[in-house]
Structures are given as C-alpha cells and as structure tokens.
C-alpha cells in the first residue's frame, strides 16, 4: 500500500482504525500491531479520541518508534508510525 500525504509517498505495512474508541484503546491496539511489525514497517493509524493527538506521539516516543507524519482534520487524526528497533 502506498499513501500520499504532505511528506510524500509512504509505504504502509498495516492500517488500523480506532475511530470511536477512547484511551487507552487507541494506544493499546496500536501497540499490539506495532509489536507484530518489522522495524522500518509503517502503521497508518486513525483516531478520533482528542487525547490521541498527544497520546500517539507519546506512544511513539516511549516505544522508540518514529512518528513520520500527523494529519489532523477536525476530529479525525491520522498518524504514520514507523516501527523502531527499540521495543
């Protein structure tokens, strides 16, 4: 899968939609997917919980993944997270 966004084309390995779910579910579900991916793989994550705007960057920071891009469209946020080597 290739997704185009403001930073260009991103090869996406997995897509996860957590629309309608509240904390801790977006973080919990994203972490389960990231664990299964290989380092360098990208997860495209959709969230609607307003807390996710801060929670998902915190998840990436703590897990030592790389948050490639964020797209915040009034109530719906998309994140592209590249799995790091860390966890």
Partner 1 sequence: MTDLARSLANISQAEAGPKRKRLALVASKGTLDAAYPPLILATTAASLGWEVGIYFTFYGLDILHKDRYQKLKMASLANPAGPIRLPNLIGAIPGATAAATKVMKRWMKRSRMPDVTEFIEMAQGLDVTFFACATTMGVMGVEEGDLIAGCDIAGAARFLDYAADADVQLFV
What residues line the site for partner 1 (CB under 8 A)? 20-25, 27-28, 30-32, 58-59, 62-64, 86-87
5 versus 66: smaller Cβ distance to partner 1: 66
21 versus 37: smaller Cβ distance to partner 1: 21
Ranges assigned E (strand) in the chain? 2-5, 8-11, 14-17, 42-47, 66-73, 76-82
Give the separation between CA 73 and CA 11, rounded to whole angstroms: 21
20 versus 50: smaller Cβ distance to partner 1: 20
Give the separation between CA 62 and CA 64, rounded to whole angstroms: 5
Instruction: Tell the smallest beta-carbon distance from residue 33 to partner 1 (Å).
Output: 11
């Amino acid at each position: 899968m290739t997704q185009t966004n403001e930073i260009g084309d991103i090869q996406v390995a997995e897509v996860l939609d957590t629309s309608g779910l509240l904390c801790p579910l977006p973080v919990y579900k994203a972490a389960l997917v990231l664990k299964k991916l290989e380092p360098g793989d990208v997860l495209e994550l959709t969230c609607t919980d307003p807390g996710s705007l801060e929670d998902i960057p915190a998840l990436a920071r703590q897990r030592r993944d790389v948050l490639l891009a964020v797209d915040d469209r009034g109530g719906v946020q998309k994140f592209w997270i590249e799995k790091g080597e860390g966890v």
